[in-house]
Amino acid sequence: MADTKGDHWRRAQGPGFAVALLVFILGTGTLGYHFIEGWSLWRAFYVTVVAIATVELPPVHTWGGQAFTVVLLLSGVSAALYTFTLLATVVVEGGLPKRLARRRYQRMLEQLSDHFIVCGYGRIGSVVANQFQRQQVPFVVIERDAARVQAAVESGLLAVEADASREDVLHRVGIARARGLIAAVGTDAENVYAVLSARVMRPDLFIVSRAETDDARQKLTRAGANRVLSPYEIGGIQIAQTALRPAVVDFVELATSSDNLDLMMEEITIGATCSMASQSILQANIRQRYGVIVIGIQRQAGKMEFNPEPDTAIHVGDKLVVLGRPESLKKLEAEAAS
């Protein structure tokens, strides 16, 4: 109860009270001079402002007017100083900077396009965000925990403190313009809700989700996730492969690492107007023209063909999995999109 009264008292001493106090003194001064000195309301108001500003006053002839001026000066100057100090404190310590920060964040969210939405900034979400940041992929993080949001912001990330399963939140972070969504919230249930909400809003969105159990994997797939991955399963497979084929694992890590400047693995989508469409790999002369190796082709239907033969045809909508230097991959990507 005492805390409630204290809160009411602190609110009563806020900017509203300060402004009201100053207005009250101005009104009192105006009416006082009007009735005591017989001045017009405008002159009475003008003299009141002059008195509060502590500049030279016009002559006041009556004793009552002089006494009133003394009281007005003392109370008016005190109220003015209190009001201006309080307003300056509000502007400097929180009000204005926070509003400007919110507007800046909102503008950044509105400018996002072809980006990823990372739901959750825990152990998995933070790794995903770090990879996107290193590869300069645009993304935004949604996290309910305030401490994690603060950690993301301090790392230079764009983060929103909210529930990722809410449609208004997804709309706010630009799901209509997004490239994909990563559901990496703490529990399987939360991931199911996030995936379901995203799929309802964007039937064509590419969604990847983490799952703890096989049952959750099935539910997430039914909810609309394109890919469902288990961190524990992936970690176990990685450990086994490292033990059995360390050189192969090292090569894959080298080819897929964003830190490697000499060799990269990338997927290139064949556009509708691409000159390579309806040609074979040999006819397109990809190796000689771009200096890259075609490792696989994912057909539009989803089937993956590994180590395709030179006479394998390339069709519109296919995704070429290629290996080469970054500059060569960029040239091939530009050609495929043209």
Give, as one character, the DSSP assignment of residue 323.
E
Residue 9, pLDDT score: 43
Higher-confidence residue: 163 or 40? 163
Name the nearest CA neighbour of 208 among 177, 184, 232, 182. 182
pLDDT exceeds cutoff 70 at 218: yes
* Run of H or E including 160: strand 159-161
Question: Given pLDDT bands bounded at 50, 70 and 90, which one contains residue 203?
Answer: very high
Classify each residue of 85-111 as buried b or exposed e, where b means 16 or more C-beta atoms within 10 Å of its C-beta: ebeeeeeeeeeeeeeeeeeeeeeeeee
Name the nearest CA neighbour of 181 among 164, 166, 168, 157. 164
The residue written with tokens 């997004």 in the block is 178
The residue written with tokens 């983060």 in the block is 159
Q: In this structure, what token pair is assigned to residue 159?
A: 């983060």
Question: Given pLDDT bands bounded at 50, 70 and 90, which one contains residue 69?
Answer: low
Q: In this structure, what token pair is assigned to residue 246?
A: 């360390």
The angle that helices 63-93 and 95-111 make with each other, rounded to 10 degrees, is 40
Instruction: Provide, rounded to the nearest whole percent, the portion of the chain with pLDDT above 70.
Output: 79
Q: What is the rounded average pLDDT for all residues in the chain? A: 82
Average pLDDT on 52-79 reads: 66
Please say whether the beta carbons of 182 and 154 come within 8 A. no
Q: In this structure, what token pair is assigned to residue 333?
A: 């990507």
Tens-place pLDDT, residues 131-172: 899 888 999 999 999 999 999 989 989 999 999 999 999 999
Spatial distance between the Cα atoms of 306 and 304, rounded to a whole number of angstroms: 6
Please say whether the beta carbons of 332 and 286 come within 8 A. yes
* Run of H or E including 296: strand 293-298
Instruction: Provide, rounded to the nearest whole percent, the portion of the chain with pLDDT above 90.
Output: 33
Domains and CATH numbers, the chain: 2-93 (1.10.287.70), 112-235 (3.40.50.720), 261-337 (3.30.70.1450)
